Chains A and B, each alone.
Chain A
Amino acid sequence: MRRPGRILTSLAVALVAALAAPAAAAEFPSAPIRLVTWSSVGGGGDVLARQLAEPLSKHARVPVVVVNRPGGGGATAMEYVSSQPADGYTLLVGTASGVITPHVAGSRYSLADFKPVIRIQTDPEAFLVRADAPWKTLEDVLGAAKAQPSEVKFGGAFLGSLDSLLTYEVFRKNDLRFSYVPFDGGAEAMTALLGGHVAVLMTSLSEVTPQVEAGKVRIVGIASPERLKTYPDVPTLKEMGMDVVGEIWRGLVAPKDTPDDVVKKLHDLVQEAIKEPSFVKYTEEAKLLPGYLPPQAFGESIRAEFTAYGNLVKEMGVRK
């Protein structure tokens, strides 16, 4: 028993076992989990990852690290994560733009190429006007846009963004000639709305809540599937007879070949983590909505959106 060879062998066995451990789902997770986001620090996906890291690490009992891989409209991060081992230790924070931008920018990967783990939150898109605008409802706005297309201009983020796609859909469904002022970012668009340079803005709700609370802008229509508890008086586009739904959702996806039992385990851990008070408080303060979906439903919604937005992008003529 004292032969050094024996000791070495057992050490080697232990080492191999330690290295192989991550592969066994029973003991998953036994190494740090990395959450990769294409947001830069402080962006929506990054804040989600950082807020999730602490409660997730508490439940998973391993460190959770946030990795920022900005660039290429998400392409860099998607390429990076899909090149990582499919062992559940590298996850991607996916957002709605991960199913749209690939159509616009023609990148190699889209979120449809990943294995869905869990959808965590959503942030519906909405039409806004200035608080002192003469229109009460979205119908008023659209009527005015029909009567005086040169007076009532719509704006939002770059052409090919969710803002522009939804605006386009609304225009098409109302037989209006599409006109849209693209801005370099949500902030610039909001300045233009506040300054009265554009009349209507489409953007995600969480970004505009401060302006709404301050009484500077009004929401005239929300593109959520049903009315929101936070804005019970604002009708959805669906109620107005336009089947237009669009939300900036965020969730976690894993490399394609990640084993199902690992995905299940991850899903359960994250589901517990997002019930933690600190995470619930963040969701409320950031004016986001809980948008939980299990892997199966999450995957279906990703694929459905991927096709739908792909068609819209093509029809709108963005890119070619």
Chain B
Amino acid sequence: MWDNLALGIQEALTWQSLGLMLLGTVWGFIGGALPGIQASTAMALVLPLTWGMPPAGALMMLAAVYVAAEYSGSVPAILIKTPGTSAAVVTTFDGYALQLQGKGGKALSVSLYGGFIGGIIGNVMLIALVLPLSRVALSFGPAEYFAFACLGLALVSSLGGKSVIKGLASATFGVMAATVGIDPFTGTARFTFGSQDLTNGFEATAVLVGLLAVGEVLVQARDATPVQRFTGTVSRALVTWREFRPLLPITLLTGVLGMVIGVLPGAGTTVASLLAYSEARRWSKHPELFGKGSLEGVAAPETANNACVPGAMVPLLAFGIPGSNSAAIMIAALMLHGVTPGPMLFEKDPQVVYGLFAGLFVATFMMLAMGRLCIKPLLKIVSVDKSILLGAVLTLVVVGTYSHQQSLFEVGTALGFGVAGYVMSRYDFSPAACVLGFVLGPIIESAFRRALILSDGSLMVFVTSPVAAVLLLVAVLTFSLPLVRAAYGALSRR
């Protein structure tokens, strides 16, 4: 193994590989930061360019895009409350609050260092534990996935906001929107009203940028405050060691957590960042600061979502199965280069596997360097004239969603959900909860139905599987506590 690793490092440190990874980092950084371009879309866009490269080089370049995009998704989330990726939705809560307090530099640097630590933890675990971790992926059947996604949704409801009930309603609305389209279990069209466009349902990225980016543009436009909202007294100061040191335990914890969740195919970064956020709040000495500008609230989700990247490589390398949309693009790249991913990859193409290992490390360091270089210039974004900033966001949303599948319907989805997102924020519903509901809803439904087909309709599967039972119990507690608390509060105040 050490020989192979040395081989991989050699492969990653050639000028060609370094150049490709640098390109990948730059594009990933830009792509992740643009609303409407998720990490996987950014990777899909560079994929045709890798045609003709050696497979290991192509894979390293894509890994660099992936790593950089997972970090830079937090940049617009912090600066202008429009997350570039769905994993960064949670980062808006505290990141944007910090930015409004003029501490954007601190938020960006915490996110960067957290992401770096998460990436390193994830990579080490990946190299050391591929096989044991791959068993985790296999042990998750439909019943476990159902319980797991339910926990995710319960966490959404506990995120708070002004009203728990409104938060829940927003999430439910998101789940509802995700049921539009052909039901893969029966082929029946649901809520499509005979429209050909609706048969495939709404595209998740379009819904995300619609609700959060376009919605926020409308909120900002309505806000008469000219530019101050975005600038205030911006401090360029980054986080200091004294401020970051207390965050170390939580970054270590969420790094491990994120990696393990990243292993589960399909669940991915969104649940990881949610869970990390709520764990951070639970262990925090200052849980009351969460949502009001807590550095822990930025560090936790950002560490977790970067740790997910190596996690998603586990099923890819162990079985040739993608653990996320982004990993699916990497598999596509391998296929494109005539390398069939699968269990034999370690033996047949070790230079690809170990090149990827080494590449992930290099890419993580490049992300750190690039992020560090960019923080101060990026902070200037918030002092750009409001009219230009809003115009740029709208333009990027239109072009970005269009470039995904050249579908006008998708652009329309983004803009339509944008108006809905505005209405939701206006009346204190939560567009962020809605997005998370949209992402988690389909997992919940299909895992539930799959589990019931397998058990011939018996609900006992959710109890007889210990993993599912524990996860569901935690989910029920997480879900009901804030409701009970709210009800109690309402009654006692009376």
Q: Do chains A and B touch in the complex (CB under 8 A)?
A: yes
- Minimum CB distance partner of A281 in chain B: B338
* Contacts between the two chains (Cβ within 8 Å), count: 134
Q: Which stretch (A176-184, A247-255, A303-311) binds chain B?
A: A176-184
Contact residue among A158, A181, A287 (Cβ-Cβ distance under 8 Å from B454):
A181
Q: Please report which residues of chain B, range 320-337, place their CB below 8 angstroms from some CB of chain A when the two chains form the complex.
A: 320-322, 328-329, 331-333, 335-336
The reply on A175 being an interface residue by CB < 8 A is: no
Q: Which chain B positions have C-beta within 8 A of A42? A: 47, 329, 331-333, 335-336
The reply on B377 being an interface residue by CB < 8 A is: no
The reply on B341 being an interface residue by CB < 8 A is: yes
Distance in angstroms from A140 CB to nearest chain B CB is 20
C-alpha gap A209/B319 in the complex (Å): 11
- Minimum CB distance partner of B455 in chain A: A150
Distance in angstroms from A172 CB to nearest chain B CB is 17
Contact residue among B196, B320, B340 (Cβ-Cβ distance under 8 Å from A72):
B196
C-alpha gap A231/B374 in the complex (Å): 56
- Minimum CB distance partner of B334 in chain A: A42
Q: Please report which residues of chain A, range 74-112, place their CB below 8 angstroms from some CB of chain B when the two chains form the complex.
A: 75-76, 104-108
Q: Please report which residues of chain B, range 450-483, place their CB below 8 angstroms from some CB of chain A when the two chains form the complex.
A: 450, 453-456
The reply on A132 being an interface residue by CB < 8 A is: no
Q: Which chain B positions have C-beta within 8 A of A146? A: none
C-alpha gap A105/B265 in the complex (Å): 27
The reply on A73 being an interface residue by CB < 8 A is: yes
Interface size on A, residues (CB 8 A): 57
Q: Which chain A positions have C-beta within 8 A of B405? A: 70-71, 76
A194 touches B138 (CB 8 A): yes
The reply on A153 being an interface residue by CB < 8 A is: yes
Distance in angstroms from B333 CB to nearest chain A CB is 6
The reply on A187 being an interface residue by CB < 8 A is: yes
Distance in angstroms from B102 CB to nearest chain A CB is 43
The reply on B67 being an interface residue by CB < 8 A is: no
The reply on A31 being an interface residue by CB < 8 A is: no
C-alpha gap A150/B454 in the complex (Å): 7
B48 touches A41 (CB 8 A): yes
Q: Which stretch (A15-23, A115-123, A210-218, A267-275) binds chain B?
A: A210-218
Contact residue among A105, A183, A197 (Cβ-Cβ distance under 8 Å from B182):
A105
Distance in angstroms from A108 CB to nearest chain B CB is 8
Q: Which chain B positions have C-beta within 8 A of A46? A: 336
B453 touches A210 (CB 8 A): no
B185 touches A159 (CB 8 A): yes
A160 touches B138 (CB 8 A): no
Q: Which chain A positions have C-beta within 8 A of B329? A: 42
A211 touches B137 (CB 8 A): no
Cβ contacts B175-197/A at 8 Å (1 or 0 each): 00000001011111100000011
Contact residue among A50, A106, A183, A211 (Cβ-Cβ distance under 8 Å from B319):
A211
Contact residue among A184, A195, A213 (Cβ-Cβ distance under 8 Å from B141):
A195
Please judge, given known A-B contacts A42-B335, A210-B342, whether A153 and B196 are in contact too, CB under 8 Å: no
The reply on B425 being an interface residue by CB < 8 A is: no
A-B contact pairs, 18 of them (CB 8 A): A40-B332, A41-B44, A41-B336, A43-B332, A50-B51, A50-B336, A71-B406, A75-B196, A106-B199, A159-B187, A181-B453, A209-B340, A210-B320, A211-B320, A211-B342, A213-B343, A318-B187, A319-B187
Contact residue among B265, B332, B338 (Cβ-Cβ distance under 8 Å from A285):
B338
Cβ contacts B133-159/A at 8 Å (1 or 0 each): 000011111100000000000000000
Main secondary structure of the interface of A (DSSP, over half): loop
C-alpha gap A41/B189 in the complex (Å): 27
Q: Which chain A positions have C-beta within 8 A of B319? A: 190-191, 194, 211
Please judge, given known A-B contacts A181-B453, A210-B320, whether A76 and B51 are in contact too, CB under 8 Å: no
Distance in angstroms from A39 CB to nearest chain B CB is 9
A184 touches B315 (CB 8 A): no
C-alpha gap A158/B442 in the complex (Å): 14
The reply on B446 being an interface residue by CB < 8 A is: yes
The reply on B344 being an interface residue by CB < 8 A is: yes
The reply on B200 being an interface residue by CB < 8 A is: yes
The reply on B350 being an interface residue by CB < 8 A is: no
The reply on B407 being an interface residue by CB < 8 A is: yes
The reply on A142 being an interface residue by CB < 8 A is: no
Distance in angstroms from A236 CB to nearest chain B CB is 24
B residues with a Cβ closer than 8 A to A are 44, 47-48, 51, 137-142, 182, 184-189, 196-197, 199-200, 265-266, 315, 319-322, 328-329, 331-333, 335-336, 338, 340-345, 405-407, 446, 450, 453-456
A192 touches B343 (CB 8 A): no
Please judge, given known A-B contacts A191-B319, A210-B341, whether A104 and B182 are in contact too, CB under 8 Å: yes
With A71-B406, A159-B185, A182-B450 already in contact, 9 other A-B pairs whose C-beta atoms are closer than 8 Å: A42-B47, A42-B333, A50-B51, A72-B199, A183-B450, A195-B137, A196-B138, A210-B341, A286-B338
- Minimum CB distance partner of A41 in chain B: B47
Please judge, given known A-B contacts A50-B336, A211-B342, whether A107 and B196 are in contact too, CB under 8 Å: yes
Contact residue among B44, B140, B335 (Cβ-Cβ distance under 8 Å from A286):
B335
Q: Which chain B positions have C-beta within 8 A of A181? A: 450, 453-454
Q: Please report which residues of chain A, range 195-222, place their CB below 8 angstroms from some CB of chain B when the two chains form the complex.
A: 195-198, 209-211, 213-214, 216
Q: Please report which residues of chain A, range 121-135, place their CB below 8 angstroms from some CB of chain B when the two chains form the complex.
A: none
A159 touches B184 (CB 8 A): yes
A184 touches B187 (CB 8 A): no
- Minimum CB distance partner of A216 in chain B: B343
- Minimum CB distance partner of A160 in chain B: B187
Distance in angstroms from B339 CB to nearest chain A CB is 8
C-alpha gap A57/B265 in the complex (Å): 39
Q: Which chain B positions have C-beta within 8 A of A69? A: 406
Q: Which chain B positions have C-beta within 8 A of A285? A: 338, 340
Distance in angstroms from B209 CB to nearest chain A CB is 18
C-alpha gap A193/B381 in the complex (Å): 49
C-alpha gap A179/B452 in the complex (Å): 12
The reply on A293 being an interface residue by CB < 8 A is: no
C-alpha gap A211/B342 in the complex (Å): 7
Distance in angstroms from A212 CB to nearest chain B CB is 9
Q: Please report which residues of chain A, range 264-298, place their CB below 8 angstroms from some CB of chain B when the two chains form the complex.
A: 281-282, 285-287
- Minimum CB distance partner of B409 in chain A: A71
B342 touches A214 (CB 8 A): yes
In the A-B complex, the 4 residue pairs with the smallest Cβ-Cβ separation, listed nearest first, are A42-B332, A210-B342, A318-B187, A214-B343
A191 touches B328 (CB 8 A): no
